[in-house]
Amino acid sequence: MGLSLRHPENGWFPVAAAEDLPLRHVYAGQLAGHELAIWRADDGNINVWEDRCVHRGVRLSIGQNDGAELMCQYHGWRYANRTGGCTYIPAHPADAPAQTICTRTFPAVERYGLIWSSIDSLGDVPTVDVLVDVRDTVELVVLRSLPFDATPDHVMERLAGHTFAPASNLRPDAEPAIACDPMPGLGVALTSTAGRHSTTVVFFVQPVDADRSIVRPVLVASDGEAIDLDVLIHHAHALDDLRSLVEGEAKSREKPPKLSPPFESVADPSDAHREPRSAPLRVRVASKYDTATGIMAFELAPLGGALPSFQPGAHIDVHLPNGLVRQYSLTNGPHETDVYRIGVKLAIPSTGGSTCLHENVREGDVLAISEPHNNFTLRRDALQTILIAGGIGVTPLLSMAKTIARTGLDWMLHYFVQATDHVAFAPDLDRLGDRVATHLGLGADETVIELERILATTSEHAHVYICGPAPMLDAARRVASDSGWPDSSVHFEYFENTSVVSDSSEFEISLARSALTLRVRSGETILEVLRANGVPMPSSCEQGACGTCFVRVIDGIPDHQDVYMNDAEHAGNDRVATCVSRSLSDRLILDI
């Protein structure tokens, strides 16, 4: 197999038994000096991660597995199943963690009742003939593993002389004969025979560190052979005897220095996210189905590896075959990391985006998408969360509801929708139970009355999240304001900027960090001028609705034309939407 315990970072080794990963547990493992936090999410996916929170270096193995995310015990940073991307930082509850905050992950494969991993992920998980050839007629029994304070080579050497009795004849006077079949770099297969009784056990050697090993035996039980607790105890005690021998010898041998694997630093944040309208991901349309009248659901699966982590409220840019770019919110909860699920409403009249997705894109097609951006973040520390959705605006709020429902905090989702057949993602809503209130077919005035009822009682411990068509969203914001809700507790996301944007003014922008002064002429946007002059700018909706292209204003009075910021934020004049907003003063000094 070309593997060597002398170079334990090259190759695959068992790092845990499958039964070591019960529900909501974090197993503490180690391979080639790398300490590992190993956990199984409720969806069955196994994560093998570096056992270190990137924040303060605390071991993630003492953290909490909530079935979808692993939470560090120290400051509560949360990491997503599959990618290890940070999804929430309690000390910054209103901010989306940077995509680059990510724990180091290693591959995980379940085979022979063991979890296998590899530091450098080269090659494939080894196949062991004795365990594979007969797998249909035998049962594999994972025996008790044992850590040895001895080098992997030393353990391999002594395992060759290990003895045990056949499973069907444990009598001490059986005097079995042992046949040894070495598996270089991996372990040894031993067959014990006494009379007509015979049992094969494969002993894998896991190189924990230069001076430490774990022996993981797997017993091949013949057809119908009962492997009871006595057999497990026999093997555990036999291996314990071998350990005493090996560790006794190891005391007089020279101890190799421990491996000191480097901790890789968190990646530089100047990643693809800063590039204009980048679509670094390719996804396959795994599923496309009607979820309500005029609304198609799309499930987007990765072509390989895992999809980048996301937080509730996040959206992706979808680059369509016809060249258009459209934003869609993810409906996923934190426990749904295998595909991105979006809902697309057929716009009438369509400007080409929703028609293309509804009519031209088929299952199996490959689409280019951006990483998830999140400018509509959910606090996970509000004692009460009120989610108000209008029509297709339910998509980001569904993601939020799925998240908050896992916490035990108080929440409610109010879904204003035309009629029952317009209710999108009904099965998901059903699973959320009676905290989802559907308000069917209300006219504008009735909607306001219902909103007044919902928002009647303000609380400093509550936060409100609103998404829906502009008239409904405007009404909800007005009702919230009239009911005494502070702007800081009311969060919203418009699909689009329906107000008329004026681009007639002319002004100067000074870039404080780049020492550049540029002229924005009528008909041009700040964003266009920046890009034309080689300043890389992220953007998404390019109509002042999503918040992606905002920059900080150091001096000058912006002429706000976005619908992303609230009135207080507009009055603060410290940020500007470069895609639509302009300047009331002759010059804007920008912090870029």
Cα separation, 100 vs 357, in Å, equals 30
- Nearer residue to other proteins within complex by CB, 211 or 542: 211
- Nearer residue to other proteins within complex by CB, 24 or 519: 24
Q: Which of 418, 363, 408, 368 is nearest to 384 (CA)?
A: 408
**Which among 112-120, 192-200, 425-433, 438-446 is the span making contact with other proteins, rule CB under 8 A?**
425-433
286 touches other proteins (CB under 8 A): no
Residue choice 238, 368, 405, 516 for contact with other proteins (CB under 8 A)? 405
Residue choice 29, 33, 166, 308 for contact with other proteins (CB under 8 A)? 29
The 139-178 site mask, x for binding other proteins (CB under 8 A), equals -----x--x-------------------------------
Tokens standing for residue 501: 């944007």
- Integer angstrom CA distances of residue 291 from 204, 357, 381, 494: 49, 14, 31, 22
- Nearer residue to other proteins within complex by CB, 229 or 303: 229
DSSP per residue, 81-108: TTT-BEEE-TTSTTSPPPTT-B--EE--
Cα separation, 391 vs 422, in Å, equals 8
- Nearer residue to other proteins within complex by CB, 407 or 505: 407
Kindly state the smallest distance separating residue 405's Cβ from other proteins, in Å.
4
Peptide bond into 349 cis (omega under 30): yes
Residue choice 4, 10, 45, 73 for contact with other proteins (CB under 8 A)? 73
Residue choice 12, 35, 191, 544 for contact with other proteins (CB under 8 A)? 35
201 touches other proteins (CB under 8 A): no
24 touches other proteins (CB under 8 A): yes
The 126-145 site mask, x for binding other proteins (CB under 8 A), equals ------------------x-
DSSP per residue, 113-156: TEEEEESS--S-----HHHHTTTTT-EEEE---EEESS-HHHHH
**Which among 24-32, 369-377, 386-394, 502-510 is the span making contact with other proteins, rule CB under 8 A?**
24-32
292 touches other proteins (CB under 8 A): no
Kindly state the smallest distance separating residue 73's Cβ from other proteins, in Å.
6
**Which among 106-114, 179-187, 263-271, 427-435 is the span making contact with other proteins, rule CB under 8 A?**
427-435
CA 530 from chain centre, in angstroms, equals 33
CA 33 from chain centre, in angstroms, equals 26
Kindly state the smallest distance separating residue 502's Cβ from other proteins, in Å.
46
- Nearer residue to other proteins within complex by CB, 73 or 350: 73
Q: Where are the alpha helices (DSSP H) in 392-504?
A: 394-404, 426-432, 444-454, 470-482
406 touches other proteins (CB under 8 A): yes
- Nearer residue to other proteins within complex by CB, 231 or 283: 231
425 near 431, Cβ under 8 Å? Answer: no
433 touches other proteins (CB under 8 A): yes
- Integer angstrom CA distances of residue 555 from 222, 531, 544, 587: 80, 21, 21, 8
Kindly state the smallest distance separating residue 53's Cβ from other proteins, in Å.
14
**Which among 171-179, 227-235, 249-257, 525-533 is the span making contact with other proteins, rule CB under 8 A?**
227-235
Q: Which of residues 36-55 bind other proteins (CB under 8 A)?
A: 42
Q: Which of 520, 511, 591, 533 is nearest to 559 (CA)?
A: 520
Cα separation, 33 vs 51, in Å, equals 11
Residue choice 232, 266, 286, 557 for contact with other proteins (CB under 8 A)? 232
- Nearer residue to other proteins within complex by CB, 111 or 335: 335
Kindly state the smallest distance separating residue 140's Cβ from other proteins, in Å.
15
Q: Which of 514, 333, 351, 516 is nearest to 428 (CA)?
A: 333
**Which among 106-114, 293-301, 401-409, 547-555 is the span making contact with other proteins, rule CB under 8 A?**
401-409
- Size of the chain in residues: 592
Cα separation, 198 vs 181, in Å, equals 15
Q: Which of 231, 248, 249, 246 is nearest to 164 (CA)?
A: 231
229 touches other proteins (CB under 8 A): yes
90 touches other proteins (CB under 8 A): no
Q: Which of residues 321-340 bind other proteins (CB under 8 A)?
A: 333, 335
389 near 412, Cβ under 8 Å? Answer: no
**Which among 185-193, 230-238, 545-553, 580-588 is the span making contact with other proteins, rule CB under 8 A?**
230-238
- Integer angstrom CA distances of residue 454 from 449, 479, 485: 9, 10, 12
172 near 234, Cβ under 8 Å? Answer: no
**Which among 65-73, 111-119, 316-324, 343-351 is the span making contact with other proteins, rule CB under 8 A?**
65-73
- Integer angstrom CA distances of residue 26 from 39, 68, 215, 357, 406: 5, 12, 21, 41, 19
- Nearer residue to other proteins within complex by CB, 227 or 530: 227
Single-letter residue type at 158: R
Residue choice 9, 66, 450, 524 for contact with other proteins (CB under 8 A)? 66
Q: Which of 488, 106, 482, 560 is nearest to 306 (CA)?
A: 106
- Nearer residue to other proteins within complex by CB, 251 or 362: 251
**Which among 16-24, 187-195, 369-377, 380-388 is the span making contact with other proteins, rule CB under 8 A?**
16-24
- Degrees to nearest 5, angle at CA 26 with 23 and 31: 130
- Nearer residue to other proteins within complex by CB, 42 or 482: 42
Cα separation, 71 vs 73, in Å, equals 6
Kindly state the smallest distance separating residue 232's Cβ from other proteins, in Å.
6
Cα separation, 50 vs 36, in Å, equals 5
434 touches other proteins (CB under 8 A): yes
Residue choice 30, 198, 561, 581 for contact with other proteins (CB under 8 A)? 30
Residue choice 9, 20, 271, 506 for contact with other proteins (CB under 8 A)? 20
Which residues of the chain form contacts with other proteins (CB under 8 A)?
Answer: 16, 20, 22-25, 27-30, 35, 42, 61-62, 64, 66-67, 73, 144, 147, 229, 232-233, 236, 240, 333, 335, 402, 405-406, 431-435
